Structure 1
Amino acid sequence: MNAQVNSSNSAFDWFKWIVVVALVAGTVYGNFYFAEQSLIVRVVVVLVALIVALGVAATTEKGRSVNRLRRDAWVEVRKVVWPTRQETVQTTMVVIGFVLVVALILWGVDTLLGLGVKAIVER
């Protein structure tokens, strides 16, 4: 019994995805076809069509799983302990200092290698 329900939902999900693709394709074509219409009218129609397409996509199994992922991600973001302003400034200064030191080292190595190659080529 459960396999039949999943098979039916899967087939209906495919139909929903076809509707989503048709809505998006129709919106793109309609926007091109009605190029002489007012821009604001076309923007409103495109936004409405895309919202409807997203609504249809959200009713599929993949859409529900994406919505669950979005909610779980939001819960995790609320758990993050953000650094203070002082910690952020200090970490930024350490990174900038490290980048400058590495840049100077690379510049020195590049200069030495350039002088070495120049000495070999001039012989």
Structure 2
Amino acid sequence: MSNTNVETVNRGSERLKLGLAVLVLAAGIVGYSILETQPGLVRVGVFVGALIVAALIVFFSDTGKRTIAFARDSYGEVRRVHWPSRKEATQMTGIVFLFVAVMAVLLWIIDKGLEWVIYGLLLGWK
């Protein structure tokens, strides 16, 4: 079992900020729908503006700060990964395709063998 802690939003102010962000986003969606007689640029502007305001609200919350810190840590980990060369990736892809083909043939043989035993020998249907 893992000993990692799961962090949830416990404080009322954090819940209020996240709830407000959801309401602002919902208001942007409703505004986009209500302004159907307006030009498309205005409608998209209302939605994008609401999206930016909601993102700023989340960004300044503790949850947003933790998410950004997690993203930075994840990016650092990805940069430290040893990525395979093109030749290694191609070889590994070929090995996987070969394995899949061999397994497909093997399963087909087993299927036909079981079909012959069950329908041919036991039931006598063929």
TM-score norm. by structure 1 comes to 0.83
Match of 1:65 in 2: 66
Deviations 1:75-108 (A, max 9, x none): 1111111111110111111111001000100010
Match of 1:78 in 2: 79
Runs of 4+ in 1 over 3 A off after TM superposition: none
Q: Which runs of 5+ in 1 are unaligned?
A: 1-9
TM-score norm. by structure 2 comes to 0.82
Match of 1:99 in 2: 100
Q: Note the C-alpha offset of 1:11.
A: 3.5
Which stretch shifts more, 110-119 or 83-92?
A: 110-119
Structure with bigger RCO (C-alpha 8 Å, 6+ apart): 1
Match of 1:3 in 2: none
Match of 1:121 in 2: 123
Percent of counterpart pairs with the same letter? 32
Where is the helix percentage greater, Structure 1 or Structure 2? 1
Match of 1:23 in 2: 24
Deviations 1:28-73 (A, max 9, x none): 2112222232333222221221111011101111111001000100
Which whole-Å CA distance do the structure 2 matches of 1:29 and 1:104 have between them? 55
Q: Which residue identity lines up with residue 59 of structure 2 in the other structure?
A: A
Q: Note the C-alpha offset of 1:14.
A: 2.8
User: What secondary structure, in the 3-state scheme, does the structure 1 residue paired with 2:123 have?
Assistant: helix
